Structure formats: structure tokens, C-alpha cells
Amino acid sequence: MSAAKPSTEASALPILYRDTTEASAFHDAVWGRVFNERRDTSRSPKAVVLASSASHIKAAVQLANEQGCRVSVRSGGHSWAAWSVRQEAILIDLGNYQGVWYDEKTHVVSCTPSSTGRIVNGFLKEKGRMFAGGHCPDVGLGVSSCRAVWAGIARYEQLAACENWGWACENIASIEVVTADGEELTCSETENSDLFWAARGSGPGLPTADPDMEIVCVSKCNQDTGAIEIVAGFTVFKQTKEEAEAALRPIHDGRPADPAVDNAYVANDEDVPSVLEAAFTTLPSKKAFALYFSMNPTSRRPLPDMALSMQSDHYFALYTVWEDAADDERCTAWVYDVMRDVERRSVGSYLGDADFRHRRTKYWSDAHGKKLMDVRRKWDPRGTVCGYLDVGDQSGVEGLKNEFEWS
């Protein structure tokens, strides 16, 4: 291996309790690693565990069982609703739990769920390898397995990557988990295979906490086609690193914050222009935009046996951005109106950009959705691990219905 694994030795649990921690420090522990400034601060966990080892994760789950409360886990993703922040739960934040190691013979890289794409690919760069997770370099790779981040298609910057490598979670070789009962397990196609099946596409509904995972990395160039590849980059010449970063900041800040987003997979046999015409021609603000991307031919190939099962030839998403609070009702209503019409001619939606509090739809095939909820109930019958954050956080053990809101 090329690097040492994180320590698994037991140590004092680094926990902050809401009732005994200074308010600003606790607020920062809860919200400091949440990327979206649009936050429901009425939700507040009872404690935050700043885990830096697998033993901390196990101890936090055991503590939750002793106290009769739930646990939520944060690896560091970009959920719009901040799925990890749950009322009266113990939040296990994995931000301090870092580690990446590599097997030179198998080309399998292992990492903690909070290891970001930037960290992992920075490590793999020296090996001439890479892993195509989400487009954003500060997203924890735990999101790439459970939330089924597309291998580059989580946003428009790297849409073509999905057609080259498929879904990022297809390259998960195994995961190590802590179950709702506090048991440590390895999950793969041959061990605890139902949990491994669920891990690849369950979103925030996986009924475990995940200390480590193994992923199969690929070479940095597409060796199958030999095609010329083009990378867009920005170069600036300044006297110091700080000056260069300041000059490039407008590029990074160019995406306005706090959009209202939604998405759908338009059915294969639909007339796409007519389905999406209103979305593209009636945008409610100058900074709002609609996105269409053809998923074919990736959408036509058989998927591995995993929870992820929702795709079509046509992916569509809305990113509705406005700057005046007076436009909240108008812009939000526009999103709902557009999606109501689109959903009637879609097969479902991509889970990673979903907010379960605002729209009910399908995220898996009927069979996969039912199996996933069965797996969740089997491994977490008490609902110890927080699942899907729907309206009022009521989904609990039952999970999502996996059905359309508008028929």
C-alpha cells in the first residue's frame, strides 16, 4: 500500500453537546461544512461528533442507541437541504477522518468517505490514475457511492464523463460500515451483498455509517478509444499565490448561490423539444438556466446489480437563481409549474439534486425501490440512522414511497 490507513485505535469521543457547548461554536460545528447558505436553522442535532477514526463512528452509534436517539452522517456532499442536519440526532461529522491508500497490483484505491475528489485525485496523480467522482473537487467521495454521483455528470462542467465511465458508484469495490446496532462489517458482492447493493444508489437512506470504501480507479486518459482529449483551464500570472487566487476568484464565484433546483429524466419516446419548451423559453430571471443533456448511449447499456436504477436517454435540470427576496414566491412557483408538466412525461429524477421536502417523485425502478426499503428495514428496524429528509422528517423506517406527486 502507498499510504497508511487511518488509526482504528479507540480514543476519547470528540463530542460537542448542544446544551454544554458555546452557541457559536456549536452552530459552526453543525453548519460550518454545509455548502448551501439557504439553511433551515430550526433543525438542530443534540450533539456533534467530530470523528477522526472508525472507533469514533462506532462509539457514536452505540451512544445513540444508549440515549434512544438517531444518528446522521456527514461525509461532505452538496445536498441542497443539508440532509445531515437532523433534529435531536447525533451528527457524526467525518471531516476530520481522512485517509487514502493504494494497491499497486489491483489499482484499487481505498479512502475514507470524507476524502474529497481533490484529495483522492491529487494522491492518484502521482500514480497516473484517477477516479471520476462528482465534478466539484470538495465533495467527499462517500457521496459518490451512496448518492450515486454521476461520474462527472453531477453538474454541467463534466457531463461527457458519464458517457465515458458511467456512474461513479459502479466502481465501488467494497465498503466498510457500522450498522445501526454498532457492528462493523465489510460489504461487497460476496459479503453482506444486500448492503453493498443498497450503498450504490440509496442516497442518504443507507442504514449504516461508513468508515471506509474501496474504489477502482482508472488511467487519466481514455485508453479504449485513443481519442484526443481537451481540458479547459485558466492561467494567471501574479507575484504571489494569494494574488493569483484573488484574480481567479470571479471564476469560482461566478455561480450565484442559493438556486431553486429540480430535475427529471424525460421518457425515451417523448418529443423532448415540446416537453422542455416552457422550461427554456420562460425562465423567470436572468440568472436562471435550464440544462438538457443526452445520456445515450450510456442510458441504453445494462446497469450492474445495484440500487441505482433510474436513467433515461434525456436528462433535464433547472437551476433557478434570483437575488431579490420579493421574487421568492414567483420563482419557486415557476419551478413547480414547469416540473409538474415535465414529470407527466418523465420516468423519474436524479436523487443527488433532490429535495424530498418539496416534491415527491421516483428515484428508482419499482422493484429496486421496494428492495431498497426492505434492506433499510432489515438492517435498521428502529430507524436509528437518519434516512430521507422529507416534509417534517417523517419518512423514518418506511423510507420514500418512490412514486410521482403529479400523475
C-alpha cell at 130: 484517477
- Please check whether residues 145 and 211 belong to one and the same domain: yes
- Please check whether residues 85 and 104 belong to one and the same domain: no
79 found inside a domain: yes
CA distances from 30 to 17, 59, 95 (A): 11, 19, 12
Give the domain CATH number at 76.
3.30.43.10
What residues contact residue 264 under an 8 Å CB cut-off, 6+ apart? 316, 317, 339, 342, 343, 346, 348, 349, 361
CA terminus-to-terminus distance, the chain: 53
C-alpha cell at 213: 470504501
326 found inside a domain: yes
- Please check whether residues 319 and 270 belong to one and the same domain: yes
d(CA 105, CA 119): 21
d(CA 150, CA 314): 14
d(CA 58, CA 101): 22
Strand order of the β-sheet with 346-348 is 289-294, 314-320, 260-266, 346-348
- Please check whether residues 138 and 199 belong to one and the same domain: yes
Domain boundary among 61, 93, 125: 93
- Please check whether residues 119 and 211 belong to one and the same domain: yes
314 found inside a domain: yes
pTM tops 0.75: yes
- Lowest-confidence region among 228-232, 301-305, 403-407: 228-232
- Higher-confidence position of 403 and 166: 403
pLDDT range class, residue 159, cuts 50, 70, 90: very low
pLDDT range class, residue 229, cuts 50, 70, 90: very low
pLDDT of residue 392: 93
205 found inside a domain: yes
d(CA 351, CA 157): 19
Specify which residues 129 forms β-bridges with.
219
Q: Look at residue 189 and tell me whether its pLDDT is greater than 50.
A: yes
- Please check whether residues 169 and 62 belong to one and the same domain: no
237 found inside a domain: no
Q: How far does CA 305 lie from the centroid of its chain? A: 20
Q: Look at residue 116 and tell me whether its pLDDT is greater than 90.
A: no
pLDDT per residue as tens digits for the range 377-397: 999 999 999 999 999 999 999
Cell numbers 481514455: residue: 222
CA distances from 112 to 41, 184, 237, 312, 361 (A): 28, 15, 35, 31, 31
Mean pLDDT over each residue of the chain, to the nearest integer: 83
d(CA 388, CA 398): 10
- Higher-confidence position of 382 and 262: 382
pLDDT per residue as tens digits for the range 65-90: 999 999 999 988 778 788 999 999 99
Count how many domains the chain has.
3
Give the domain CATH number at 186.
3.30.465.10
SS3 of the chain: CCCCCCCCCCCCCCEEECCCCCHHHHHHHHHCCCCCCCCCCCCCCCEEEECCCHHHHHHHHHHHHHHCCCEEEECCCCCCCCCCCCCCCEEEECCCCCCEEEECCCCEEEECCCCEHHHHHHHHHCCCEECCCCCCCCCECHHHHHCCCECCCCCHHHCHHHHHHCEHHHHEEEEEEEECCCCEEEECCCCCHHHHHHHCCCHHHCCEEEEEEEEECEECCCCCCCCCCCCCCCCCCCCCHHHHHHHHHHHHCCCCCCCEEEEEEECCCCCHHHHHHHHHHCCCCCCCEEEEEECCCHHHCCCCCCCCCCCCCEEEEEEECCCCHHHHHHHHHHHHHHHHHHHCCEEECCHHHCCCCCCCCCCCCHHHHHHHHHHHHHHCCCCCECCCCCHHHCCHHHCCCCCCCCC
d(CA 407, CA 404): 6
Domain boundary among 71, 93, 115: 93
376 found inside a domain: no
- Please check whether residues 157 and 133 belong to one and the same domain: yes
- Higher-confidence position of 48 and 319: 48
pLDDT per residue as tens digits for the range 333-392: 999 899 989 989 999 999 888 889 888 899 999 999 999 999 999 999 999 999 999 999
234 found inside a domain: no
- Please check whether residues 175 and 264 belong to one and the same domain: no
Give the domain range for residue 67: 15-93
Q: What are phi and psi of 242, to 5 degrees?
A: -65, -40
- Please check whether residues 293 and 332 belong to one and the same domain: yes
142 found inside a domain: yes
pLDDT of residue 143: 58
Neighbour tally for 286: CB within 10 Å: 9
pLDDT of residue 215: 65
- Please check whether residues 337 and 267 belong to one and the same domain: yes
- Please check whether residues 344 and 264 belong to one and the same domain: yes
- Please check whether residues 264 and 327 belong to one and the same domain: yes
Q: Look at residue 255 and tell me whether its pLDDT is greater than 80.
A: no
pLDDT of residue 284: 92
